[in-house]
Chains A and B, each alone.
Chain A
Amino acid sequence: MAMTMTEKIFARHAGLDKVVPGQLIKCKVDLVLGNDITAPPAIREFERIGRPVFDKDKIVLVPDHFTPNKDIKSAEQAKTVRQFAKQHAITNYFEVGRMGIEHVLLPEQGLVAPGEVIIGADSHTCTYGALGAFASGVGSTDMAAAMATGETWFKVPSSLKVELSGSLPQWVSGKDVILTLIGQIGVDGARYQSLEFCGAGVAALSIADRLTIANMAIEAGAKNGIFPVDDITHDFLAGRVVKEYQEVAADPDAIYERTVRIDLSTLQPVVALPHLPENVKPVREVGAIAIDQVIIGSCTNGRIEDLAQAAKVFEGKKVHPDVRAIVIPGTQAVYLEAMKRGYVETFINAGAVVSTPTCGPCLGGHMGILAAGERAVATTNRNFRGRMGHVDSEVYLAGPVVAAASAITGRISGPWEVC
């Protein structure tokens, strides 16, 4: 019987010929991820089980949220993760200085392959669906159980098909695609579902665009977001992923709960207004909204392609005197590449600050906390109330070109206003 990509991956990992939506299954996991906030409670629970780790090569630990540590308590949390990694000889532990924001780092390091089942104690683990893996966020207890058993349980989700056609116009990126989709279906529009992207438009999207889109599947309530594996995926994986993998494709007659169609050529730069990612409006329609801060980076838009787009807008211009602009490369490798290409110089000459990789400001952790009444344009993934600081602050979500243009004008702007 016909299956979607997610159903096929689940069936294979559960050792079944067929799975159907609603079915509860136990399946093997290929990778288990945790960070400095979620891993410490997972480690505590893991120790209660009293077993060794199922596979030291299949656990990934990335202290990235409150690192470099912002205070003593967060240093203690990072220490717990570091000691655990040492004790269990975890292969993929990424220390400050060699690390990155987890969801930028793992694909870059070749740790994610098509057809895999990946769980992470971080909701944006769904990012890896861009490479044709089933990837989903879980909590610390799930992480603990999976570290011990190499398995986890799932309810097989029904699927929402997102059929893409056309190609992106100038200044429009993956961020605009996913924000437009969330604006259309709402923050619970894909709740408990798999978002399966397909159609001729996929070939027009770079891996960076796909990673950004899959990253925010959770913002529509989805369990996972997944892209088909094509030549662009293979080019990205070549020389990066050394392990063997088995990619899957959806059957042509797979059953979806519903289909949403998006013609990429009709899209324009958009912004999600406070306090939900579904409050989406074209930049041209938001009017004059003065801002205090801009954040370019995060697991959503911290790749070299994102910094390239921002640098193009910043080139030869200055950040508005009333704005703090913060640029955060997603990994050390992205940082180095941005230096080589001259982007870091462009950002600093423009009056922006460039930080070591950290999730800091995205979750209101450190490095860019907002005071009461302040507004930020951020390339991050959530604009919930109080997300980036004071409960009376506001976050506007946008892609890198809108964030950069807004930093220059001091109000929410499209790049066409400054370029």
Chain B
Amino acid sequence: MICQGKVWRYGDNVDTDVIIPARYLNTADPKELAKRCMEDIDASFAAGVKKGDIIVADRNFGCGSSREHAPVAIKASGISCVVAASFARIFYRNAINIGLPLVELGDQVAMIQAGHEISIDLAQGVLLNKTTGQKFTVQPLPGFIQEIAQAGGLIEYVKQGAGA
């Protein structure tokens, strides 16, 4: 799978409250959530994001609430992948479960800036910054998590009889 697009760049500790504010959680409709995605940190995001675009952030992306509405909103907005120095654990888990690709890149995220064009080959484990020409090696997901991803998310995985 290859993700490709323009970079939306954010800093440390992007929390689930700014990804999708609680005031909009009286719906779980992905399309409705996408309209409000990132509203409290970047009012230009929802209107400007294009299909395939990639969010790149620093440490602890997705900290805070367990609301799955956060990765759902990001995915529904058209974002193809989120790259961060590190992820908060519930967000990481939720993203895997709903099939939003994540790449944990450590301090190397500093080399990627807003507006850069990047592409990520998840199978090959390569992130290419097309704007600067830099290439990064991406750690593959652990085997068991890959199985969930390959099944198309946790529900499909359970439906296939993998659960008890």
Binding site for B on A (CB under 8 A): 24, 26, 37-38, 40-41, 44-45, 48-50, 54, 65-66, 70-71, 73-74, 77, 120-123, 125, 137-142, 144-145, 148-151, 153, 155, 187-188, 191-192, 218, 221, 223, 276, 363-365, 382, 384-387, 391
Contacts and interface: CB of A to CB of B under 8 A. Distances in A.
A149 B155 CA distance: 11
Interface in B60-116: 60, 63-69, 71-72, 86, 88-90, 93-94, 97-98
In the complex, which of the residues B17, B23, B89 has the most CB atoms of chain A within 10 Å of its own CB atom? B89
Given A139-B67, A145-B158, A188-B60, 5 more contacts: A24-B142, A54-B164, A139-B71, A142-B94, A145-B154
A221 B63 contact: yes
Contact of B66 (A26, A122, A148, A365): A122
B3 interface: no
Given A49-B155, A137-B66, A382 B89 contact: no
B66 A121 contact: yes
A174 to B, nearest CB: 21
B28 A139 contact: no
A41 B63 CA distance: 20
11 contacts: A24-B144, A26-B164, A38-B68, A50-B159, A121-B68, A142-B97, A150-B164, A188-B88, A221-B89, A363-B22, A364-B23
B26 A221 contact: no
Interface string B27-51: 1100000000000110000000000
A41 B68 contact: yes
B26 A71 contact: yes
Contact of A145 (B18, B60, B89, B155): B155
B153 interface: yes
B52 interface: no
A142 B13 contact: no
Contacts of A223: 89
B21 A188 contact: no
Given A363-B65, A365-B23, A41 B28 contact: yes
Contacts of A77: 26, 28
A138 B41 contact: no
Given A139-B90, A139-B93, A150-B164, A74 B155 contact: no
Contacts of B71: 139
Nearest to A54: B164
A385 B17 contact: yes
B18 A123 contact: no
Contacts of A71: 26
A48 B25 CA distance: 22
A350 to B, nearest CB: 29
B90 A123 contact: yes
B13 A187 contact: yes
A191 B88 contact: yes
A45 B97 CA distance: 11
Contact of B22 (A45, A120, A125, A364): A364
Contact of A149 (B17, B22, B94, B164): B164
Contact of A24 (B59, B65, B69, B145): B145
Contacts of B40: 385-386, 391
B159 to A, nearest CB: 6
Given A123-B64, A188-B88, A382 B27 contact: no
In the complex, which of the residues A153, A223, A276 has the most CB atoms of chain B within 10 Å of its own CB atom? A153
Nearest to A359: B22
Contacts of A145: 97, 154-155, 158, 163
Nearest to B24: A73
A364 B159 contact: no
A386 B40 CA distance: 7
Contact of A386 (B21, B68, B86, B145): B21
A144 B28 contact: no
Contacts of B22: 37, 363-365, 387
B117 interface: no
Nearest to B28: A41
B53 interface: no
A50 B163 CA distance: 13
Given A49-B159, A73-B27, A382 B66 contact: no
Interface string B132-143: 000000000011
Contacts of B154: 141-142, 144-145
Contacts of A41: 28, 68-69, 72
A391 B28 CA distance: 22
Contacts of B59: 188
Nearest to A220: B63
A384 to B, nearest CB: 4
A275 to B, nearest CB: 9
A149 to B, nearest CB: 4
List the 3 shortest-distance A-B pairs measured between CB atoms, nearest first.
A139-B94, A139-B68, A149-B163
Given A37-B67, A188-B63, A66 B26 contact: yes
Given A150-B164, A188-B60, A192-B89, A74 B68 contact: no
Contacts of B15: 382, 384-385
B159 A48 contact: yes
In the complex, which of the residues B66, B93, B155 has the most CB atoms of chain A within 10 Å of its own CB atom? B66
